[in-house]
Amino acid sequence: MKEHIKKNAHQYRLLGLLVILLIVMGILAPGKFLTVKNFKNMGFQMAEFGILAIGMSVVIMTGGINLSIVNSAMLASIVSAMAMRTLYNGGEGMADIPVILIGVAITVVIAIACGMINGFFVAYIGVLPILVTLGTQTVFDGIALNITRGSGVSGFPKLFQKIGAGTLGQIPYTMLIYVVVIVVAYLMIERSRWGISVYMVGGNEKATRFSGINTKKTIMGVYVFSAVLSGLAGILMTSRYNSAKADYGSSYTMQAVAATVLGGTSINGGSGHVLGTVIAVAIIQVISSGFNILKINRNFTDIATGLILVGVLALNHFVNKGSLKKRVRVSVK
Amino acid sequence: MKKVLAMIFVLAMLVSSVAMAETIVVMPKLVGIPYFNASENGVKAAGEELGIDARYVGPTEGDAALQVQMIEDLLVDGIDALAIAPNDPDSVSPALQKCIADDVLVLDWDTTANGDDVTFSVHQIDDKVLGETLIDLLVDQIGEEGEYAIVTGYLTAANLNTWIDAGQAYAAEKYPGLKLVTDPVPSDESQQEAYNQTMALLQAYPDLKGILGYSTPAPIGAAKAVQEKGLNDQVAVVGTSMPNDSSEYLKDGSLDYAVLWDPAQLGKLAVYVAHLTLNGEELEGYEVPGVGPIHVEEDGKTIIMGPPTVWTAENVDNYDF
Amino acid sequence: MSDKIKRALGNKEASVFIILIAVMLIATIFNPAFLTFSNIMDVLKGNATLGICSMGMLLIILTGGIDASVCGQLTLVCVIAGKIMANFQFDNIIVLYLLGIAIGCFTGLLNGLMVARLDLPPIIATLGLDSVLMGYLKYYTNGNWINAKELPPRIGQIGLFRFFSNPEVNGSGVPLQLLLYVLVALLTWFMLNRMLLGRSIMAMGGSRVGAERIGLNAKNLTTFAYMYAGMMYGFAAITYTCAMNSVDPNAFLGFEMNVIGAVVLGGALMTGGQGSVLGTVLGMLLFAFIKNGLTLAHISAYWQNIIVGAIILLAVSFDMIKLHREERLQTKVDIEPKEAIAR
């Protein structure tokens, strides 16, 4: 147990911070913050960003980055929204359920295609991920703009809104989907053979290749996995906003990188935990919602988020320094 | 321990149940840009005049996702009325329906939301009228024939697209001699980008006679480029811009007309409409101080503030915002 | 032909150069107005801010870092300098430049200390600084512009200044901003190639452990890189304020991605140690000329992003494909760089 805590010290520190934030917000906004209503509300909001952040984390674990994650989500959503609109035809066309199933399928297929394009350039051509995704980000955004001419696409079955707005008892569906994504991502990355190869590629790609692992396949898989999650987030966003548009979620890209690094994943790859990212996302959500409820000027939310980012990681530095002094450490990454 | 918890709970209930003044929230597309900053002043002024809690909250980026989150958070806080300038009407629709389910009065202002989501729709002016006015002013400068280009904010900005489309439909019918040389060019709401794009347009289309700038930085950036190339008399620039920012360019002739309205008045009007409706008072004919009488259109929903103000070199000094 | 360019420019730079020439050729075929002196000058003037900032970013990327606080630092200088200009009608440009550089030096120092002394990941340290700066600046200014009416008249005049301009033709000649950009690029080149300081940064980016073993102080070098970048932003901010004759606190949102893009397109490696001034200049030019060329070629804005993205993908794949071909032709002894493990 002690060993476990030591190994995951960063995550426990984050968890501690989250608890402190919850308590502080609860005291500052009595009767409002620590309520079922607010938690439900945060559950609705957190899922789409959380899923994107996990998609980003997996890529960063291999030492890459996926700047196109939001754009692939929106491109997939737009194509599927257009298809759903045509099929549904304002109620004249197909029934609700088949329309939605086709829509979801199209989103996932397009997202996978986007992921394969990224994966192809990174794994098989060998271009740096930041360059590839900078390019594909522009292309995906361009296609989305081109086919929509900048306007939103809506007009699908009312039932589709249920995905983003419905609840099971008090728990939002979005939250349930998010939990499933967390569990699947955790099992795939931290408990599977494939996951080990992901970390290995991030640590040292060449050594991994020489050890007999098909690193190209691993990298391709990572980008496809990231894209599938982006597609899922796209479905949630389309449902929650009842439309798909080229610029939705434009603020999520850098935030997802920040959440990943705050969660303890090294930007150079080779390390990191899904749960770290999940806790980081929760921290960002609590600050954001809490400040809104406290009627604090929105600009201070940005300031507080920035300070917490820096503060938490600076804390790591001091703690690590302290423990270094006590004993000589053999560092194996 | 139980006692402490109970105390905290009781205290919390007390604090939250202290009878609050009527809370009206006006939500812009984003905070921290001059246009929506000016409307904040109107909202605050109305709050003071009426002695109510008139709050102005919005996201720091023009992202629909952030707006939805804010609405949901506001509901947790508890409000009486929400006047929203949606970044995207469809995307906020589910959140606005939640408001209605929570007995919150919902209006839209500045930009139209979906009809089912709002009780009243408060507008600066008719979108169609603005789009047409811009074309008329352009024609006033370049005549009924000639090439022109459009520099816009973002290609995804719903209200800008509405104005552009309205103007295009009007121009196609009334001024067939006008020729739009290329699809609207985005400037990312940045003066530098508008300047760069205008420079490129001037090179690309040597016969260009006019530029229409949509979004507040676009006309300024375009005027800067025209000024620098010494084309003040050859290329007309007309666009939506604030008087203080555009005054220098209007005076040297690089910008010919700036068109907009007083955003402060609009903010004020939105608060008044919300307040009157909450208190069940008659809207029609109510005299809003500094704005004028309210007139509800025939659809029983739309309230239009008035025609846009057109600023020229002569009258721009009479305005300060 | 390609070989000669390669020898003259170095491998990475050659690829960007070839793509750049191809883009310019195609644009010229579509519209001869592209390859005119006045168009080239206008594009360079319009992108001088980007160019100056990219010199600072280059240094940071050479250390293996990244700077997400370009927007915040630029805006801070613009707002402080703008307020001074407007409130006191202060128009001594030399003092303003010194002030801008000093402020940038300070914010850069903050970044440098966070990265070098507190061991924060550069993206977090700089993103944190950016959120704090932008949050405060937006709150303080409320997004209001400091406009041409408020600024002293000389500021705008400086922004319009051009060398060798033909008094008959407005906006002709070589813009001041271009000269400033060239000066900054030369200075950066000189430092990186001819001074111990610059060589040390290159060496450290290549292998931090190796650099420390030969007695270089990696912490100080890293801090210096961030300070240098801050100074470049300060310099760029004043240049920008004069050129645009206004201060818009929202002007630089998302600008950091353009700056990073120009540097990495120019062949700099995000892991550090590799990159050059020439490459960065070419990367910036590629960015600037694609956009301008597309508009001049009468391409609709709805197609522009698709084409820009495709060209980026093409450009970045180009030398990798070449590399693969060469690899196949020769057997290579691979020596794994050690710093990946040491980190």
Each residue of A240-274: pLDDT tens digit? 988 899 888 888 888 899 899 889 898 888 889 99
Contact, C288 vs C41, CB < 8 A?
A: no
Tens-digit pLDDT profile for residues A152-192: 898 888 899 889 888 888 899 999 999 999 999 999 999 99
Q: Which residues pair with B309 in a beta bridge?
A: B260
Contact, A61 vs A198, CB < 8 A?
A: yes
Which residues between 192 and 251 in chain A have a beta carbon less than 8 angstroms from any beta carbon of chain B? 237, 240-243, 245-251
Q: For residue A225, is pLDDT > 60?
A: yes
Confidence of residue B180 (pLDDT cuts 50, 70, 90): very high
CA dihedral A185, A191, A193, A198 (to 10 degrees): 50
- Average pLDDT of chain A to the nearest whole number: 89
Selected residue with higher pLDDT from B4 and B151: B151
Protein fold of C2-342: ABC transporter involved in vitamin B12 uptake, BtuC (1.10.3470)
Q: For residue B2, is pLDDT > 80?
A: no
Is the backbone of residue B51 left (phi > 0), alpha (psi -120 to 50) or beta?
Answer: left
Q: Chain A within 8 Å of C130 (Cβ-Cβ)?
A: yes
From the CB of residue C153, how many other CB atoms can be counted at a distance below 10 Å?
12
The rounded Cα C229 to chain-centroid distance in angstroms is 9
Which residue out of C127, C318, C322 would a mutagenesis test of the A interface target, given it has the greatest number of A Cβ atoms within 10 Å? C127
Tens-digit pLDDT profile for residues C3-38: 666 666 666 788 888 889 999 999 999 999 999 999
Per-residue pLDDT, averaged over A320-330, amounts to 58
Confidence of residue A211 (pLDDT cuts 50, 70, 90): confident
pLDDT (0 to 100) of residue B13: 46
Tens-digit pLDDT profile for residues C91-139: 999 999 999 999 999 999 999 999 999 988 898 899 999 999 999 998 8
Q: Chain C within 8 Å of A7 (Cβ-Cβ)?
A: no
Confidence of residue A194 (pLDDT cuts 50, 70, 90): very high
Q: For residue B167, is pLDDT > 70?
A: yes
Interchain contact, B245 vs C148, CB within 8 Å: yes
pLDDT (0 to 100) of residue B193: 93
Tell me the chain A residues in contact with residue C114 when contact means C-beta distances shorter than 8 Å: 310, 314
Structure token digits, residue C13: 């730079």
pLDDT (0 to 100) of residue B18: 42
For A31-79, give the secondary structure using H, E and C.
Answer: CCCCCHHHHHHHHHHHHHHHHHHHHHHHHHHCCCCCCCHHHHHHHHHHH
pLDDT (0 to 100) of residue B30: 86
Q: For residue B23, is pLDDT > 70?
A: yes
Q: Chain B within 8 Å of A142 (Cβ-Cβ)?
A: no
Q: Which chains touch A (3 or more CB pairs under 8 A)?
A: B, C
Nearest 5 degrees, angle CA A126-CA A127-CA A133? Answer: 130
Measured CA to CA in angstroms, residue C169 lies from A275, B228, B229, C38, C172 at distances of 64, 10, 8, 11, 6
Percent of chain B with pLDDT over 70: 94
Interchain contact, A139 vs C124, CB within 8 Å: no
pLDDT (0 to 100) of residue C268: 87
| Nearest CB to B12; choose among A31, A45, A248 | A31
Percent of chain A with pLDDT over 90: 56
Instruction: In whole angstroms, give the CA distance from residue C38 to residue C147.
Output: 27
Q: Which chains touch C (3 or more CB pairs under 8 A)?
A: A, B
CA dihedral C268, C274, C277, C279 (to 10 degrees): -50
Which residue out of B192, B198, B208 would a mutagenesis test of the C interface target, given it has the greatest number of C Cβ atoms within 10 Å? B192
Per-residue pLDDT, averaged over B43-63, amounts to 89
The DSSP secondary-structure symbol of A326 reads H
Tens-digit pLDDT profile for residues A57-86: 999 999 999 999 999 999 999 999 999 999
Q: For residue B83, is pLDDT > 90?
A: yes
Percent of chain C with pLDDT over 70: 92
- Of the candidates B304, B306, B303, B311, which has an alpha carbon nearest to the alpha carbon of residue B256? B311
Tell me the chain B residues in contact with residue C33 when contact means C-beta distances shorter than 8 Å: 203-204, 206
In angstroms, the first-to-last Cα distance of chain A is: 21
Residue type, C298: H
φ/ψ of residue A262, rounded to 5: -60, -35
Interchain contact, C306 vs A139, CB within 8 Å: yes
Instruction: In whole angstroms, give the CA distance from residue A92 to residue C123.
Output: 51
Tens-digit pLDDT profile for residues B85-103: 998 888 898 899 999 999 9
pLDDT (0 to 100) of residue C340: 44
| Look-up of token digits 């490696």 | C269
For chain A, domains (ranges, CATH) are: 41-313 (1.10.3470)
Q: For residue A279, is pLDDT > 80?
A: yes
Selected residue with higher pLDDT from A295 and B272: B272
Confidence of residue C342 (pLDDT cuts 50, 70, 90): very low
- Of the candidates A205, A67, A121, A202, which has an alpha carbon nearest to the alpha carbon of residue C320? A121
Tell me the chain C residues in contact with residue A271 when contact means C-beta distances shorter than 8 Å: none
pLDDT (0 to 100) of residue B299: 85
Is the backbone of residue A150 left (phi > 0), alpha (psi -120 to 50) or beta?
Answer: left
pLDDT (0 to 100) of residue A155: 87
Tens-digit pLDDT profile for residues C39-94: 999 999 999 999 999 999 999 999 989 999 999 999 999 999 999 999 999 999 99
Q: Chain C within 8 Å of A5 (Cβ-Cβ)?
A: no
pLDDT (0 to 100) of residue C334: 52
| Nearest CB to C128; choose among A125, A126, A310 | A310
Tell me the chain C residues in contact with residue B33 when contact means C-beta distances shorter than 8 Å: 143, 250
Instruction: In whole angstroms, give the CA distance from residue A184 to residue A191.
Output: 10
Interchain contact, C136 vs A306, CB within 8 Å: no
In angstroms, the first-to-last Cα distance of chain C is: 41
Give the HSE-up count for residue A140: Cα atoms under 13 Å, Cβ half-sphere. 34
Confidence of residue B65 (pLDDT cuts 50, 70, 90): confident
Beta strand pairing status for B146-152 and B208-213? Answer: parallel
Runs of H (alpha helix) within C10-92: 11-30, 37-46, 48-62, 70-88
- Of the candidates A251, B241, A290, A291, which has an alpha carbon nearest to the alpha carbon of residue C139? A291
Q: For residue A204, is pLDDT > 90?
A: no
Tell me the chain A residues in contact with residue B102 when contact means C-beta distances shorter than 8 Å: none
pLDDT (0 to 100) of residue C10: 63
Confidence of residue B147 (pLDDT cuts 50, 70, 90): very high
- Of the candidates C258, C243, C122, which has an alpha carbon nearest to the alpha carbon of residue C180? C243
pLDDT (0 to 100) of residue C7: 63
pLDDT (0 to 100) of residue C343: 38
Instruction: In whole angstroms, give the CA distance from residue B117 to residue A134.
Output: 38
Q: Chain B within 8 Å of A16 (Cβ-Cβ)?
A: no
Of B40-44, B181-185, B304-308, the range with the lowest mean pLDDT is: B304-308
- Average pLDDT of chain C to the nearest whole number: 89
Residues 6+ apart with CB under 8 A from A234: A72, A73, A74, A76, A77, A80, A107, A111, A244
Tell me the chain A residues in contact with residue B31 when contact means C-beta distances shorter than 8 Å: 298-299
Q: Which chains touch B (3 or more CB pairs under 8 A)?
A: A, C
Residue type, B165: D
Tell me the chain C residues in contact with residue B245 when contact means C-beta distances shorter than 8 Å: 145, 147-149, 246
Domain boundaries, chain C: 2-342
Q: Chain C within 8 Å of A204 (Cβ-Cβ)?
A: yes
Residue type, C121: P
pLDDT (0 to 100) of residue B20: 55
For chain B, domains (ranges, CATH) are: 2-124+262-306 (3.40.50.2300), 127-260 (3.40.50.2300)
Tens-digit pLDDT profile for residues A99-150: 999 999 999 999 999 999 999 999 999 888 988 999 999 999 999 999 999 8
Residue type, A135: G
Of B17-26, B260-269, B311-320, the range with the lowest mean pLDDT is: B17-26
